[in-house]
Structure formats: structure tokens, C-alpha cells
């Protein structure tokens, strides 16, 4: 059985996006610094399922190759879906993509759509994504979805790519978590260029 993993780039002060994020300002004011590491090295990393490619350090490329190779399905929230303009219909990873929303968009409710819209709660989203992923992992991409997973005891691991920037405001990752503390174990730390990848296991 695969794991449920949250993967995200984060500022050192805990933001997944800067202030004023939206479809015309994806990562918010100053938030592009979170993804500076995507173009910081000399190793090509084609993003599976898309026509995008990163240029990153060897250390980051080795890590991403391993992690993306284990990816079976993805869950994101409606804000990320809208901000990413539905990834032009090609969600990263190329696997089944589940979007949590209260109002599924008509445009993507059609035969052959790469998206499944989930309206009946986080347990249902994780159950459906796990079934689609088979033995592979389910990747969580949005802050609010990760928070719901942690509260429901559904998240296994957290993989943060920490960017060397202090954003000072924006979308905080680890809000709304309810009862604290939540204990973590560090699995590994990988130093890239303009990024430090830290992989944690949630102690249950
Ligand atoms: N730094 C990174 O690596 C990275 C990666 C990806 C995204 N981001 C950033 O993360 C931000 C998006 O994350 P976010 O946490 O703000 O929003 P989000 O999780 O993408 O979307 C939140 C929305 O999802 C829907 N939703 C969430 N839980 C639901 C539930 N249980 N049932 C039904 N619908 C539900 C609701 O939309 P409706 O009620 O409207 O349907 C809710 O407003 C953006 O700023 C994006 O740029 C950063």
C-alpha cells in the first residue's frame, strides 16, 4: 500500500505562497522565490505528465526522480486548481488527479477529463486517490488539503523544499491543525542549490 505524502516548497518562515496570491499572481507577492530552485542547476528534470522542465542540481534531480517515480495519484484543492489554470488539462505527474471543491467546474465535467472532483470530504478524496494509485503514493499539493489530512490522521509523510527566503506574509502552511504538538521523525535531508529538502514521517 502506498503512502500519503504532502510535498511543497516553503519559505523559512512557513509560507507556501506570498500575499495576494491568485490566478494572475500564482505564488503571491515575492512567492516566486519559493520556486527559484527549479531553475538553479544544470541537470534537466522533465516534469512527468507535462511539457515543463526544471533545471536543478544533481542532488535535487536524484531526489525528485525517486519521489516522482513513486507517485500514483494527486489531490489538490480548488484554489490551487484555479491558480494553476487546471495545468492546461495536464496535471503534474500525469496520473489521476482529484480536486476537492464544493462546486465542480462544468468545463472539466466531461468524458476523458483528467480530473475527478470530490465534494464529500477528505476521507473520500484519500480513499479514491489511494484506490487509483494502487501500490504507489498519493501526493497532496495544497495547504488546506494537507491540514485536513493531518487532522484526520490520513497523512504519512511531509516533504518540504525549504527556500532561503522570509516572505513575512501570505498563505501559511501549518495553520488550522487543531491539537498540537504533532511529532515528526526526520527521514532525510538533501541540500540542493537554493533549496534544502527535508523529509519527515508523522509519528502516529
Ligand atoms: N509552494 C508550493 O510548493 C505550492 C504548491 C502548490 C500550491 N501552492 C500555493 O498554495 C495555495 C493554494 O492552497 P490553499 O490551501 O490556499 O488552497 P487549496 O487547498 O488549493 O484550495 C482550497 C479550496 O479547496 C476547496 N476545498 C478544500 N477542502 C474542501 C473540502 N473538504 N470539501 C470541499 N471543498 C474543499 C474549497 O474550494 P471551493 O469551496 O471554492 O470549492 C477551498 O476554498 C496557492 O497560493 C498556491 O499558489 C504552493
Q: What is the CATH number of domain 4-19+27-198?
A: 3.40.430.10
Cis amide linkage into residue 181, ω under 30° from 0: yes
Q: Strand pairing partners for 54?
A: 45
Among 12, 14, 17, 67, say which to mutate for ligand 1: greatest number of ligand atoms within 8 Å of CB. 17
Compute the distance from residue 142 Cα to the ligand 1 centre, in Å.
5
Q: Mean pLDDT over residues 4-10, rounded?
A: 98
Specify whether the CB–CB gap between 141 and 8 falls below 8 A: yes
Q: Is pLDDT at 192 greater than 90 in this prediction? A: yes
Compute the distance from residue 174 Cα to the ligand 1 centre, in Å.
13
- Angle between helix axes 143-151 and 122-133 (nearest 10 degrees) is 100
Residue 51's pLDDT is what?
87
% of residues, the chain, pLDDT over 70: 100
For the CA of 170, the closest atom of ligand 1 is 45
Compute the distance from residue 76 Cα to the ligand 1 centre, in Å.
6
Q: Mean pLDDT over residues 125-142, rounded?
A: 97
Compute the distance from residue 79 Cα to the ligand 1 centre, in Å.
4
The mean of the pLDDT values for the chain is 96
Domain definitions of the chain by residue range = 4-19+27-198
Determine the Cα–Cα distance for residues 69 and 165; give it in Å rounded to an integer. 29
Compute the distance from residue 43 Cα to the ligand 1 centre, in Å.
31
Does residue 136's CB lie within 6 angstroms of at least one atom of ligand 1? no
Taking CA 29 as the corner, what is the angle to CA 24 and CA 35, rounded to the nearest 5 degrees? 85
Q: Which residues contact 112 (CB under 8 A, 6 or more apart)?
A: none
Specify whether the CB–CB gap between 176 and 183 falls below 8 A: no
- If pLDDT is split at 50, 70 and 90, which confidence band does 127 have? very high
Does residue 91's CB lie within 6 angstroms of at least one atom of ligand 1? no
pTM recorded for the entire structure: 0.96
Position with higher pLDDT, 47 vs 126: 126
Tens of pLDDT along 81-113? 999 999 999 999 889 999 999 999 999 999 989
Does residue 100's CB lie within 6 angstroms of at least one atom of ligand 1? yes
- If pLDDT is split at 50, 70 and 90, which confidence band does 138 have? very high
Residue 85's pLDDT is what?
94
Query: Per the structure block, which three cell numbers stand in for 189?
Result: 535531508
Does residue 160's CB lie within 6 angstroms of at least one atom of ligand 1? no
Residue 179's pLDDT is what?
82
Amino acid at each position: 500500500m502506498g503512502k500519503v505524502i504532502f510535498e511543497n516548497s516553503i519559505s523559512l518562515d512557513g509560507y507556501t505562497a506570498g500575499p495576494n496570491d491568485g490566478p494572475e499572481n500564482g505564488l503571491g507577492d515575492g512567492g516566486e522565490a519559493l520556486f527559484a530552485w527549479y531553475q538553479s542547476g544544470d541537470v534537466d528534470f522533465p516534469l512527468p505528465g507535462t511539457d515543463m522542465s526544471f533545471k536543478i542540481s544533481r542532488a535535487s534531480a536524484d531526489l525528485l526522480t525517486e519521489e516522482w517515480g513513486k507517485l500514483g495519484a494527486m489531490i489538490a484543492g480548488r484554489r490551487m486548481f484555479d491558480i494553476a489554470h487546471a495545468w492546461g488539462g495536464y496535471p503534474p505527474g500525469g496520473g489521476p488527479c482529484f480536486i476537492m471543491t464544493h462546486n465542480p467546474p462544468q468545463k472539466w465535467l466531461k468524458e476523458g477529463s483528467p480530473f475527478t472532483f470530490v465534494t464529500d470530504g477528505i476521507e473520500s478524496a484519500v480513499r479514491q486517490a489511494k484506490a487509483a494509485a494502487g501500490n504507489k503514493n498519493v501526493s497532496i499539493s495544497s495547504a488546506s488539503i494537507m491540514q485536513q489530512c493531518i487532522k484526520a490522521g490520513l497523512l504519512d509523510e511531509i516533504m518540504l523544499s525549504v527556500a532561503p527566503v522570509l516572505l513575512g506574509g501570505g498563505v501559511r502552511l501549518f495553520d488550522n491543525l487543531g491539537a498540537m504538538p504533532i511529532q515528526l521523525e526526520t527521514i532525510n535531508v538533501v541540500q540542493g542549490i537554493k533549496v534544502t529538502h527535508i523529509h519527515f514521517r508523522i509519528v502516529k
